[in-house]
Amino acid sequence: MNATTVQASTRREWLFVILAGFFITNAVTAELISNKLIDVPISFDVFGMHVGPFVTVVGVLPWPLVFICTDLINEFYGKKAIRRLSWITAALISYCFIMVIVALAVPANTAISPNTANDAEFFKVFGQSRWVIVGSVCAFMFSQLLDATLFSWIKQRTGNKHIWLRSTGSTVISQLFDSYIVIYIGFILPGTLPISAFWEIAPTNYVLKLFIAIALTPLIYLGHYLVRRYLGEHAVENGGAQST
């Protein structure tokens, strides 16, 4: 193994560590901050129907980076890599919520400083429903595994052409299931929301994710360009062939 090959292998390993780190960090962050609703001032007319403005959780903000990392890992390291990383991330999200539950059970001490959060304030921020937690983890795993499968299936039929089709297409379909699963398990099964609200909130969240996925398409092409510049075409092709 010559010096050039060793250097290319080292670059691939470091790039994977960085992408995996961003993937896990943003996925965990998205779950932790999803107990806050925000307004998205976007509205438009489609087929005579007025859509928007949107109300969604603030946890949607880190998901664009999750989408990009998913695509790049799938493209340059293969379906097995993103599947394994998704399982690891789901386990880490579950671990994070377990630690939050433990923290909620420990009484707060505000005697030293009144500026620290008391039990009620801490619970209001982190006290998400257990059903919402289960729904989030289930939706994440199902959508990620589906995304990896669709991405690989499309790439096998189109080769290295049509990056937008396998990247945006797989995300658009996988996020459809994600949007419905998390709301159904988190709010409908425990009876928090009526089924009528499910058919209003789930489509709204999906439409917002749909626009995010489409808007990210130029960034995905930029990401592919930068990775190929960093690794080199030969290293990319060899690594991708070995990973799948």
Q: 9-27 as b/e, with b when 16 or more CB fall inside 10 Å?
A: eebbeebbeebbebbbbbb
* DSSP string over the chain: --HHHHHHHHHHHHHHHHHHHHHHHHHHHHHHTTT-EEEE---EEETTEEE--EEEEGGGTTHHHHHHHHHHHHHHH-HHHHHHHHHHHHHHHHHHHHHHHHHHHSPP--SS-TTS--HHHHHHHH---HHHHHHHHHHHHHHHHHHHHHHHHHHHHHTTS-HHHHHHHHHHHHHHHHHHHHHIIIIITTTSS-HHHHHHHHHHHHHHHHHHHHHTHHHHHHHHHHHHHHH-HHHHHHHHHHH-
Q: Please report the pLDDT score of residue 34 as a whole number.
A: 79
Q: Please report the pLDDT score of residue 150 as a whole number.
A: 92
Q: Please report the pLDDT score of residue 81 as a whole number.
A: 93
> What's the angle, vertex CA 26, arms to CA 128 and CA 236, rounded to 5?
150
Q: Please report the pLDDT score of residue 129 as a whole number.
A: 72
* Longest CA span, the chain: 64
What domain range is 64 assigned to? 3-243
Number of structural domains (the chain) is 1
Q: Please report the pLDDT score of residue 236 as a whole number.
A: 55
Q: What is the mean pLDDT of each run of 10 residues along the chain (244 residues)?
A: 64 92 93 80 73 74 87 91 94 92 89 83 82 88 92 87 87 89 86 81 80 87 90 57 42
Rounded to the nearest 10 degrees, the angle between the axes of helix 130-158 and helix 163-183 is: 160
